[in-house]
Structure 1
Amino acid sequence: MADEESSHALGEEEELSQFVKSLEDKIAGNLKQNRLQSFAGDPNLPGERIHIMDRVPSVLHQQNENPYSPTTISIGPLHRGAPRLQAMEPVKLSYMCALLQRTTTFEETLRDCAEAMLKLEQAVRDRYEPARLQPCNDQNFRLAEVVLIDGCFIIELLLRNFKNDYDPILRNPFKYYAILYDLLLLENQIPFFVLEELFNEMVGRIQIQYPPLTIWVHLFFGNIMGLENYQRRNMEKECPYHILHFLHIQYMPACTGNTYTQRSLDDENEIDKMECDETERMESKIIYSATELRLAGVRLKAASNDRNLFDIRFTTGFSCNSCSTLFVKGYIEIPPFSVSDSTESVLRNLIAFELSCHWIPSYFTSFAFLMDLLINTPEDVKLFEDAGIIRNYLGSREEVARLFNGICQNANPSGFHYTKQYKQAMDFCTPWRVSTGRFRQYYFGSAWSGISVIAAIILFTLAFMQTLYSMLSFY
């Protein structure tokens, strides 16, 4: 028995030694070739839910593949080997080498990190569907090696950003944003516990006090949705699956976060049933865009800066029109946000994440679906801009309308979080309000048309009175 245990221990030691030797050979080969050396920085620097690292649902891929595929760098096994991404492979090795050189014991740190990744390899493998890993299971593939190199690259990049070190990626806006967006793709993720393990192994050896890894991640990705009063969420009690999930949690309302994973299946089914019933009732009515809602007296209003992105409300109140007559108005209050070149890619991948993990609350899908309901034309976008809700960095209102009109195709939320608010707006839009609103727009849409209508009414009244007077005079 003792001989068997000893033999087993020797086998593990031999496997670890071969793995470390393979990594050392790759690093040496990369340094020898001296490819893309400028990326290496200063050379003098010292499970409960499995199969969560899935691909984007095929129905979304068929619609538009570009927002889900990396353009510059592959992270994890799903896009490993893509020819267009091979230029970054030696760069990732350079970053790993630079991170190891920050420690005083290069070889020992490499060995300890390799051992940690071997121990986690099965846990990492369990996060992917086996069929997804089949193309990667060749003789030269090792999942532990992939996540070790990719994890070290991410940590070194986050560290350079935290320290504001000179870095050719961070100093080049084109490369920086290309890699930032690639790191937020659903199919370009590695488990967050891999990053935490490597972070703990590395930072403890650098002998400098650093804040938690979550601070580094937040500083790098920042407020990517462009909220006016964005506040970083405390992640101490959260357990993100990967970086994209980390971003998802950051924007969740305070009452959610990872607490939603504690809801029972019965609770989820009951909530979904109620929301589906309300959605069916809502869909049986006429759906109005922002421009059409305005005709019925519903205005868009920018919410206060202390509101969460998803805290959207419908309220009513009095307002004064141009004739100084008080009328009841409805208001859809939406927190201000930015629309830029990154908005479509980030939103699409967050929506794909919500669809692939059905237990995740579908706030981003619901938000995009609501915007799709309210925005149909560039005129609708103009109302959002005039209300101070959308800051348009795309320039073209047509592009913003196209973005929201296409982003939710084949991606309707299983539970629409704004059924109540939108139903309130629809109920406010009575046929009388819509008809009178259209009348006002057609006949009083401008000062000249209003004057023309008033003049026509006066002329008609005078003609009628003259006719009536003539008839009375005749008798």
Structure 2
Amino acid sequence: MVAVFNKELLSWYLITLKLKETVEFVIPQAQYSHTCHRNLDIPQQEHHQEQQRLLDQGNISIKEEEQQQLLDQGNISIKEHHHHPDPADHQWVISIREKLEVARQDEVAGSSAKLCIYRIPKSLRGGGGGGDQDQDHKAYVPQIVSLGPYHHGKKRLRDMERHKYRSLRQVLKRCNHDVKLYLNSIKEVEEKARACYEGPIAMNSNEFVEMLVLDGCFILELFRGVAIGFKQLDYSHNDPVFAMRGFMHSIQRDMIMLENQLPLFILDRLMGLQVGDPLQKGIVAKLVLRFFDPLVPSDDQPSRNSDRNKLECSMGQHAKFDPLDDQSGLHFVDVFRRSLLRTGPQPTPRIWLKRRSHAVRVADKRRQQLIHCVMELKEAGIKFRRRNTDRFWDIKFENGVLQIPRILIHDGTKSLFLNLIAFEQCHLDCTNDITSYLIFMDNLINSPEDVCYLHYCGIIEHWMGSDGEVADLFNRLCQEVVFDMNESYLSQLSAQVNRYYNQRWNAWRASLKHNYFNNPWAIISFVAIAVVLLLLTLAQTFYSVYGYYNPRS
């Protein structure tokens, strides 16, 4: 160990050491000025300990004030000690900022007023855990044909792509058009079409436009073929797709799914090119109603067909038919739903979202209980009658009689109702009338006995395997639906039914009728017994009076 006795030499050594450290850390700090400063008290303590060790080796006792004075004489300004910025940390911050920008873009896209084609929320979609959940999941996912970008290119749906190109070729051949006319026309409204879909679409401009033209022409060929016959469109009678067979029913079910939609204005535009009237509106909407008519959950045909003339006449004259009362439709699901409610509750925006924005909206089964089940209402004296109307949602209650229109349940009803519910849950500018009706029926049906009695009354007609399957269908439709009974168009009717149910006299009268007058023989027996008792009472009274006035001698 070498002892240092020159105080001035040691001071200049310390000044040089500080100058070296300052130069090393000021340059990296200028290069990474955007990084955050960190508190590094431990390195400073280690530096002071090093200073004290050197001073001890030189047998010099220098106070802290003297050290600072010496450093000041060297014109050195010592700043807080900083670590070298880690390049990995720098990349981490950039990655987070990129994700925040994506979130901002998603928020802008989601807040668009044109958004109308939604992805099914996970809360409504089954978990895919098997059994009923898988069946619910399949109700939202197309099995044969994909329309729009959500399911485009999936392997199981690729077989239909070649048939789409056949339909496009047939359109171009029949109309004597070049495909560039259709591509350029749809290119003009590409951004408007993208805004209709939820979230960013991972397709470039050419791919997206090609998909819209291909899917749109395929849809129009299906619509027109069902309306006027595929033979009129030059398709073979044994065509694998464009022929009226059972295969068409599966295509209809895929096309009514919320995730499998095309904006209606795209179809209007393509139809305008085909008929030579770019400004036409209404033809496609009318074709939609004709095409999806087999899915209507009602079998009362006369009232539905009274306003439907042959489509070839209206198409030939470019008639301005609007089945939506001068309201533009968004897509198939919207047009079909509003046709079901065409004379029902008026579609108004859900202003309750603004009035009750502070409320937490979660699925609460307690807020979905409108009325009691069929068997309980029957025991309380409420009668059930079938109402003769095709408006399956139009329920009435008068004088203890609940009148419910007939509804037809088949294998496609579940998928139809689930997608209508999903649209009402996602699209806030429409009413929840379909959801209200289904929750009302869910309350009525708790067991196969409830279904059996409604079937006996002519209210439910089903093609399912058993009454238990129908009961399970209604009980699962609105399982995770956000709903408040006060927002239902049936809330007032439900209150009337509940008031009637809570009157004890009605329950006693119903119990008496059920126990003693449930069949004609019971009524005859009761009347006969009553007559005999009355005659015996009269005879006893007669002989009592006669004996009093004519006593025996």
| C-alpha distance in structure 1 between counterparts of 2:265 and 2:420, whole Å | 20
> What's the CA shift string for 1:345-369, capped at 9, x where partnerless?
1111101110011221111101110
The AA in structure 2 aligned to 1:242 is: H
Q: Which has the larger radius of gyration?
A: 2
Please state how far the C-alpha of 1:393 moved relative to its aligned partner. Answer: 2.6
Two-structure CA RMSD over aligned residues (Å): 3.7
Counterpart residue number, 1:308: 391
CA distance in 1, matches of 2:444, 2:354: 27
**Residue in 2 that maps onto 1:327:** none
Where does structure 2 lack aligned partners over 5 or more consecutive residues? 1-110, 127-132, 308-321, 531-553
Superposed CA offset, 1:173-227 (max 9, x none): 3310110110000000011110001110112189xx9982222222211152224
State the Cα deviation string for residues 389-444 of structure 1 (Å, max 9, x = none): 22223252222111111111111434222111112111101244335545654676
**Greater CA deviation, 448-457 or 193-202?**
448-457
Structure 1 residue 171 displacement after superposition: 3.2
Q: State the match for 2:339 in structure 1.
A: 250
Q: 1:445 to 1:400 in 2, by over 3 A?
A: same
The one-character-per-residue Cα deviations of 1:295-353 (angstroms, maximum 9, x if unpaired) are 11111112233x6332211100xxxxxxxxxxxxx111122221112111111110111
Q: TM-score, normalised by structure 1?
A: 0.71
State the Cα deviation string for residues 274-303 of structure 1 (Å, max 9, x = none). Answer: xx9xx97995x9x52112211111111122
Equivalenced residue count is 383
CA distance in structure 1 between the aligned counterparts of 2:209 and 2:368, rounded to whole angstroms = 50
Aligned position for 2:29: none
| Aligned counterpart, 1:58 | 122
Structure with the larger RCO, 1 or 2 (CA within 8 Å, 6+ apart):
1
Q: Which residue of 2 is the match for residue 212 of structure 1?
A: 283
In 1: Cα distance, 2:246 partner to 2:342 partner: 32
Q: Is the 8 A contact 2:147 2:215 kept in 1?
A: yes
Query: CA 1:205–1:444 in 2, change beyond 3 Å: closer, same or farther?
Result: closer
- 1:218 maps to a residue whose letter is L
Separation in 1 of the partners of 2:248 and 2:122?
29
Q: Deviations 1:78-100 (Å, cap 9, x if unpaired)?
A: 01122111111111111111111
1:390 aligns with 2:460: yes
Q: Is the 8 A contact 2:368 2:439 kept in 1?
A: no
* Deviation for aligned residue 1:255: 5.9
The change in CA–CA distance for 1:443 and 1:292 in structure 2 (over 3 A counts) is: same
Structure 1 match to 2:492? 420
Provide the C-alpha distance between the structure 2 equivalents of 1:117 and 1:141, rounded to a whole number of angstroms: 10
Q: Tell me whether 1:49 sits opposite 2:113 in the alignment.
A: yes
Partner Cα distance (2:222, 2:292) in 1: 12
Tell me which residue corresponds to 1:34: none
Range moving further from structure 2, 424-433 or 154-163: 424-433
SS of 1:365 mapped into structure 2: helix
Secondary structure of the residue aligned to 1:130 is coil
| Secondary structure of 1:410's aligned partner | coil
- Give the direction of change, closer, same or farther, for the CA distance of 1:362–1:282 in structure 2 (3 Å limit): closer
- C-alpha separation in 2, matches of 1:96 and 1:366: 41
From 407, 410, 413, the equivalent of 1:340 is 410
CA contact (8 A) 1:313 1:332 kept: yes
**Cα pair 2:396 2:404 within 8 Å, conserved:** yes
Residue aligning to 1:179: 251
Give the residue type in structure 2 aligned to 1:125: R
Question: What runs of 5+ residues in structure 1 fail to find an aligned partner?
Answer: 1-46, 317-329, 458-475
CA contact (8 A) 1:225 1:338 kept: yes
Give matches, 1:124-143, under 5 Å. 124-131=193-200, 133=201, 136-137=202-203, 142-143=207-208
Q: Secondary structure at the match of 1:260?
A: coil
How many percent identity over aligned positions?
27
How far has the Cα of 1:69 moved from its partner? 0.6
